[in-house]
Amino acid sequence: MRRPTSYDVARAAGVAQSTVSRCFRDDGGISGDTRARVHAVAAELGYTPNAVARSLILRRSNVVALIVTDFTLRTNPHVIDGISQALNAAGKRLLLMTVSGDNDVAGAVVGAMEYPIDGLITGALIGDENLARFLARGVPVVSLNRRVDRARVDCVATDHATAAGEVADLLYGAGLRDFLCMTGPVDSAVNAERVDGFEARMRERGGARVARCVSGAGYDEGRAAFAAYVARHGRPEAVFCANDQLAFGVMDACRHDLGWRIPEDVAVVGFDDLPEAARPAYRLTTVRQQFEEIGRAAIGLLVRRIAAPEAPARTVLLPGQLQRRASTL
């Protein structure tokens, strides 16, 4: 019932505790003979090195903390999967902390701060002063999909603005001039980059009208907000949505609430390329984010920074890949 320690193994194997320790780290200086005996005894006793004691002395835990909003967890689990797999490959563990709508961030930060974590990956806004606290402790920080202008904070993100510009080109090129952007929540930096990128390109091209509609981040919010918008302002020629969930909501509003055809009456574009986007129900033109790749890149940045803590901050910008489907001409 009590967990066996290296002392227990040492006693049973007739060696010193330090010898057991060495055997479990493949320290090198160990005769094959004692090595085998120690491992045999350990297996019999069910001994596993105590990661906590190891972390205490090494001052690092092999654990990486990931802070994400529950919305991200529910709608982009692929990012988390990518991170998790990359961490497995790197022999590190994942401490997952979810925050509800940028709320209870404080608790997550405190939690992460109590551990000697090898690194922090954050997909949620944790605030500048919190960021500073991690950096002050020498904890490498990687920001997901959000630029952070700060020394030693690496960043991995889809190039939202450029991709949104391509979306703008596509629609503009099709002769459309009257646009609506479903921005999602106002405080989402990611969504803002997308919408701003779209608008910027439209301004360059000239002669287009771009309206904005703010809403919650999800399907239902998008569907309702869009319906309410068009009730007051009429039908735009095309709708650019800050994410696919919003786009699904808009499409369903068009077809099922308003009786409009897509793309004949209105074109719709999303962002993310969730699996559903490609399916017959939507065939949504959207921008693919390489979710798994984002996860892998984040771990790559982390590992590099652990090796070179003072290296200049890097940003890995992954291109978004425009997927043309039947929701646009």
Q: Is 46 near DNA (CB under 7 A)? A: no
Distance CA 313, CA 311 (A): 6
Where does residue 184 fall: left (phi above 0), alpha (psi -120 to 50 degrees), or beta otherwise? left
CB of 293 to a copy of itself, least distance (A): 15
34 binds, among DNA, a copy of itself, none (CB under 5 to 8 A by kind): DNA
Q: Which amino acid is at 32?
A: G
Which residues within the stretch 246-275 sit at the binding site for a copy of itself (CB under 8 A)? 248, 252, 255-256, 275
Q: How many CB atoms lie within 10 A of CB 144?
A: 24
Q: Is 93 near DNA (CB under 7 A)? A: no
Task: Judge contact between 294 and 156, C-beta under 8 A.
Answer: yes
Say how many residues touch a copy of itself, by CB under 8 A. Answer: 55
Q: How many CB atoms lie within 10 A of CB 276?
A: 15
Cβ partners under 8 Å of residue 48, min gap 6: 3
Which residues within the stretch 168-207 sit at the binding site for a copy of itself (CB under 8 A)? none
Tokens found for residue 248: 């699904």
The smaller minimum CB distance to DNA, of residues 134 and 271, is found at 134
Q: Is 46 near a copy of itself (CB under 8 A)? A: yes
CA proximity to 180, closest of 200, 195, 158: 195
- In the set 30, 35, 90, 116, which binds a copy of itself (CB under 8 A)? 116
Which residues within the stretch 119-158 sit at the binding site for a copy of itself (CB under 8 A)? 133, 136-138
Q: Is 88 near DNA (CB under 7 A)? A: no
State the Cα torsion 62-134-109-115 to the nearest 10°.
30
172 binds, among DNA, a copy of itself, none (CB under 5 to 8 A by kind): none
- In the set 100, 127, 173, 326, which binds a copy of itself (CB under 8 A)? 100
Q: Which amino acid is at 292?
A: E
Q: Which helix (H) or strand (E) holds 143?
A: strand 141-144
Residues that bind a copy of itself (CB under 8 A): 1, 3, 46, 48-53, 55-56, 59, 61, 63, 70, 73-75, 77-78, 80-81, 84-85, 88, 93-98, 100, 104, 107, 110-111, 113-116, 133, 136-138, 219, 248, 252, 255-256, 275-276, 279-282
